[in-house]
Amino acid sequence: MMALWTSSELAEAVGGKASEIFEANGVAFDSREVGKGDLFFALKGEQSDGHLYLDKVYAAGGAGAIVSEATDGPHILVDDTTDALNALAKASRSRTGAKIIGVTGSVGKTGTKEALFAALERSSMGKAHRSLKSYNNHVGVPLSLSRMPADTEFGIFEMGMNHAGELSRLTQLVRPDVAIITAIAPAHIGHFSSVEEIADAKAEIFEGLTAVGTAVIPFDSPHYERLKSAALKHTQNILSFGFSEQADVRAVDIVPAPRGGSLVTASLGDQSLCFTISEPGRHWVSNALAVLAAVRAAGGDLASAGLALAELEGLAGRGKRHKLSLVSGGSALLIDESYNANPVSMKATLAQLASEAGKGKKITVLGAMGELGEAARAYHEALAEDIAASGASIIILVGDEMAHTAAKLDEALDHNAEIFHAASSSDALTEVAKQIGDGDILLIKGSNYLGLASVVSALVNGEY
């Protein structure tokens, strides 16, 4: 098995000096994640300095480190470790012959990235690579690139932003052959003056496209023409996806699958594909269409993509489903959407809850949506209609902004429901423990800063 990086390759890539010969088979910047044979980047931040953890890194079996201060263990000495990380990312991108796919969007980018990886990993027999977790920022993207083996056939990289200009820098590192925008929504609108500005910021992903790259964009978005115009500045190859007859990759027919999810017939112009999506909801059909468009543009196998979509499991915090064994007896379904929330993803998730069937009641734990700026009150008030339409009879709202939702719920509800306003995630857990019963369906969703993932963890582990 070839090493991911040798010390001589590292020294050349980052413009540093190797203290000795060594090989690395992984890359990390968090000392807690370093394993045997890993390369560690001793990054310096405003509140941290990776050099303070070098002893721990070597004790864990780290093969070497990129440092800006001399150390006794195997290392590459550079002037700036952050610059070195970016340099190694560029070297990794330059040495590969892989088809590279970049994914961004206001919603759905992590799920789409994971679905793409599953599809391309299957068809390439293990030669696909992707960014792990939500490593999609100025540190996570270069780290993910640096971890890519030289013989990779497909690389999939998620890119995120909450300010203009951020994607522009990331896409120049990734240099995608295929660039996807999943959807445009008012996520992070507190940092922008309009949703149009968000669309423009997402469209920065096209700036890094390779010479014959392809832009994949949502046809049904009200910002489609804006995105298309931005893409045309960098490529003539555009694939649209969606539910409209005018979309290049479109859903012709959608019916509920026998075991959940959806059975979809999709048209790709000159061919069609019938496949199952294991994940339920119209938003997942949209994600799947984006996946098919990207697989086709990258030269992947569409049949393998269809099989992968049928086997895809829900992601923690993004739709993963848990069967809870209750202390009181019986069981309940927990839908974990605790990682994040914005007006569009809230609407989609609540619409899916409305279609869920069970013998018990529907319970929602909904956290406030962050980074909405001056429009926060209006967006939280508008959420009341979606909650009412979901059929939830126990509604637990978490966070200060949810007071606006609570105020509107009474007039929006057309059925009997109990509404609770919890000050914290721990208070929400206490209320859930009182309310949940056999056959119930529980949805937990909110912005990550509220810590609703701790509620999910406690329920799944029976710690309540």
**CATH number, position 23:** 3.40.1390.10
Tens digit of pLDDT for each residue in 386-405? 999 999 999 999 999 999 99
Burial class of residue 70, CB neighbours in 10 A (0-12, 13-18, 19+) = exposed
Running DSSP on this structure, what letter comes out for residue 208? G
Position 148 scores a pLDDT of 98
Tens digit of pLDDT for each residue in 165-186? 999 999 999 999 999 999 999 9
As given in the structure block, the two tokens for residue 331 are 């069981």
> pLDDT band at 410, cuts 50/70/90?
confident
Does the residue 90 lie in any domain? no
Q: pLDDT at residue 35 above 90?
A: yes
> Rounded to whole angstroms, how far apart are CA atoms 427 and 455?
10
* Residue 159 to residues 34, 81, 171, 231, Cα–Cα distance (Å): 24, 21, 8, 17
Position 302 scores a pLDDT of 96
The total of structural domains in the chain comes to 3
In 3D space, the residue among 434, 413, 414 whose CA is nearest the CA of residue 422 turns out to be 434
Burial class of residue 293, CB neighbours in 10 A (0-12, 13-18, 19+) = buried
Tens digit of pLDDT for each residue in 41-81? 999 988 889 999 999 999 999 999 999 999 999 999 999 99
Q: Given strand 38-41, what is the order of strands in its sheet? A: 17-18, 75-77, 64-67, 38-41, 26-28
As given in the structure block, the two tokens for residue 95 are 């040495």
Does the residue 46 lie in any domain? yes
As given in the structure block, the two tokens for residue 360 are 């018990």
Contact indicator for 396, 372 with CB cutoff of 8 Å: no
Mean pLDDT across 363-370: 96
Tens digit of pLDDT for each residue in 22-32? 999 999 999 99
Residue type, 289: L
Identify whether residues 419 and 439 lie together within a single domain.
yes
Query: Is the whole model's pTM more than 0.85, yes or no?
Result: yes
> pLDDT band at 415, cuts 50/70/90?
confident
Identify whether residues 446 and 331 lie together within a single domain.
yes
Identify whether residues 141 and 23 lie together within a single domain.
no
Contact indicator for 106, 187 with CB cutoff of 8 Å: yes
User: Which position has the higher pLDDT, 286 or 317?
Assistant: 286
Identify whether residues 172 and 241 lie together within a single domain.
yes
Mean pLDDT across 282-302: 97
Torsion of CA 67, 71, 73, 79, to 10 degrees: 20
Residues in the chain, overall count: 464
Position 190 scores a pLDDT of 86
Domain boundary among 60, 83, 106: 83
